[in-house]
Amino acid sequence: MKFPIRLSCLIAIFCQWAAAQAPIEHIIIKPTPGALATSLSAIHQNESLKAAAPSLEFDSALAGGAYRLRLPYAMSPAEAEAYVLSLHSHLDLEYAEPDWRVYPAVIPNDSYYQHEQWNLHSPNISNYGIDMPGAWAITTGSAEITVAVIDTGIVSHEDIEDNRILPGLNLQNKLLAPIDPDGGDVHGTHVTGIIAAQSDNGIGIAGIDWNAQILPVRAIGFNFGSITTLSEGIRWAAGDDSVYNSTVNLNVANVINLSVQTDGDRECSSTLQDAINFAVANDIIVVAAAGNFNLDSTGTSPANCKNVISVGATTYDGNRASYSNYGNMVTLSAPGGAIVGNYKILSTMSNNNYGYLSGTSMAAPHVAGVISLMLAANPLLSQEDIELILIGSATLFPADSDCHSKGCGAGILNAHRALEFASTYDEHLRSLLQNYARLVKNTDYSNLVGQHEKLQAEYEQLQQQILEQEQLQQSQQERIEKRLLGSSGSSSSGGCGAGSSSDATLPAAFSLAGIYLLRPRRNP
């Protein structure tokens, strides 16, 4: 099993869990107006104050009369809060506080995002979106990841960047590009927009992955295709050069989206299964729509094929969409929209238009898009890893949902939590997720709620342990470096570590004798 090298968080600068747990290296203090200065050296002569400000170093003077000070070592958030509380109780300060890290909140400016794309918003009691803002704070994707959309092809659109569309294949007519010739069947264009519409460009909609490339394969034409065209499309996207009379695919997919379904109640075709197995053997993740017959998905391909991630559809309120297939074959669900009403899925259509569609065909690309983000955050994830993460990170269905009896998978796609797990994935988290995945299929809803909360608590505890270990290693490294510097003959004077030439750069409240803070607070 492959695991990434841990760097605290693979995308540490944006990891929101790390934002809450990141070590604190500085504090900010603001002296009480008119307070008398007392040097640190004087403070350290007072036994009761020694613990209040050991080895603080001046960093910078801030506007408004405050100062930024460097702590003697990187502290945990709880330790830093206790530290400034002690400091404030001993010294005349208007305030003292940790210099918390601040992270961007990634909300795209696309015109339809805020009021029309409920499916991408953070989940709450009435809206079961997939929490893309949290996921985008970790990564918005990578151009190194390719998602194949095996569908009706695509049409040119203002909100789908041409330079992100790779040369594809038209299995309906291999002499033509993979586009719908008259633009009448926009199914593939709608699916593509969900995955990869250009985001934060001030127009239209936001796609899930802002940077992945799209490999279009037109396997369906004039409302239907065949097992042959679908299987050949999968193989070609997966790099099989033996596909008859086709160009060589120089852009092998990382993820394949299959928003298609067979008619009738039948097992997975052997030809189709062979094609899927070929893709999976080449480390390609295959996502399939569960089907729109309101039946058990065991009779609908490719959702009933082995080695696929099968996706059911949910509505705005988190319940199973009335049309969505269900059953043990479904891995998880994602927003597919309602048949009637306002809460369908908005995406790209022909003639630079935007329109609403509903179906498991719309649910599947939500999952495919999030998987492409997961691979951007952690390229070493296998299909098994990705399935475990999707299952363990899913938002639970509402308590009154019929999914608890019919089976709609582990829950509703939660992009934010999936990206957290993906970017911190290791053998310990894998073990937690394996245990949870076993429980999902064998535990009723009331017990699953507790197990879901337990998983999150264990994950946070695991990350805290890792963080503390890394902080200890960092602290040890810093001590070694200081000893080496000391043995090399370098010298410093006072807590500022400043030589005579730096004295002029310090504010009046500081000197080479140490940082001048404030007089001890007088007892009333």
Query: Which domains, and CATH codes, for the chain?
Result: 23-100+491-505 (3.30.70), 113-379 (3.40.50.200)
Q: If we measure between CA atoms, which residue out of 256, 258, 255, 278 comes closest to residue 376?
A: 255
- The answer to whether 71 touches 25, Cβ cutoff 8 Å, is yes
- Helices 360-377 and 383-393 meet at what angle, rounded to 10? 110
Q: How many residues can be counted in the chain?
A: 524
H helices present in 52-173, as ranges: 77-90, 113-116, 132-136
pLDDT in tens, the chain (524 residues): 444 333 333 333 233 444 445 678 889 988 877 654 444 444 445 454 445 455 677 788 888 888 888 888 888 888 888 888 877 777 778 888 998 876 555 789 999 999 999 999 988 877 899 999 999 999 999 999 999 999 999 999 999 999 999 999 999 888 788 887 656 678 999 999 999 999 999 999 999 999 999 999 999 987 788 999 999 999 999 999 999 877 899 999 999 999 999 887 889 999 999 999 999 999 999 999 999 999 999 999 999 999 999 999 999 999 999 999 999 999 999 999 998 877 999 999 999 999 999 999 999 999 999 999 999 999 999 999 999 999 999 999 999 998 988 889 999 999 999 999 999 999 999 999 999 999 987 777 778 899 999 998 999 888 888 777 777 777 677 667 666 666 554 443 333 333 333 333 334 333 323 333 333 344 44
Q: If we measure between CA atoms, which residue out of 188, 269, 282, 165 comes closest to residue 235?
A: 282
Rounded Cα–Cα distance for residues 114 and 108 (Å): 9
Rounded Cα–Cα distance for residues 109 and 101 (Å): 24
User: What's residue 4's pLDDT?
Assistant: 35
Buried b (16+ CB within 10 A) or exposed e, 232-259: bbbbbbbbbeebeebeebeebbbbbbbb
Q: If we measure between CA atoms, which residue out of 192, 180, 174, 171 comes closest to residue 234?
A: 171
The radius of gyration of the chain's CA atoms, rounded to the nearest angstrom, is 28
Cα angle at 391 between 121 and 188, to 5 degrees?
60
User: What's residue 490's pLDDT?
Assistant: 44
User: What's residue 309's pLDDT?
Assistant: 98
Buried b (16+ CB within 10 A) or exposed e, 423-446: bbbeebbbebbeebbebbeeeeee
- The answer to whether 420 touches 389, Cβ cutoff 8 Å, is no
What is the SS3 assignment for 177? coil
User: What's residue 65's pLDDT?
Assistant: 80
User: What's residue 115's pLDDT?
Assistant: 93
Rounded Cα–Cα distance for residues 215 and 150 (Å): 8
Q: In what order do the strands lie in the sheet with 57-61?
A: 57-61, 67-75, 24-31, 93-98
User: What's residue 478's pLDDT?
Assistant: 67
Cβ contacts of 7 within 8 Å, gap of 6 or more: none
What is the SS3 assignment for 133? helix
User: What's residue 55's pLDDT?
Assistant: 66
Structure-token match 């909140």, residue found: 105
Q: Which tokens belong to 123?
A: 């989940």
DSSP H or E segment with residue 110: none
Q: Which tokens belong to 139?
A: 């990564």
Q: What is the pTM of this model?
A: 0.76
Cβ contacts of 106 within 8 Å, gap of 6 or more: 133, 136, 137, 140
- The answer to whether 159 touches 348, Cβ cutoff 8 Å, is yes
What is the SS3 assignment for 160? coil
Cβ contacts of 33 within 8 Å, gap of 6 or more: 65, 94
Active site residues: 151, 187, 361
What's the 3-state SS for 430-494? Answer: HHHHHHHHHHHCCCCHHHHHHHHHHHHHHHHHHHHHHHHHHHHHHHHHHHHHHHHHHHCCCCCEC
Q: Find residue 214's DSSP bridge partners.
A: 147, 165
Rounded Cα–Cα distance for residues 520 and 437 (Å): 57
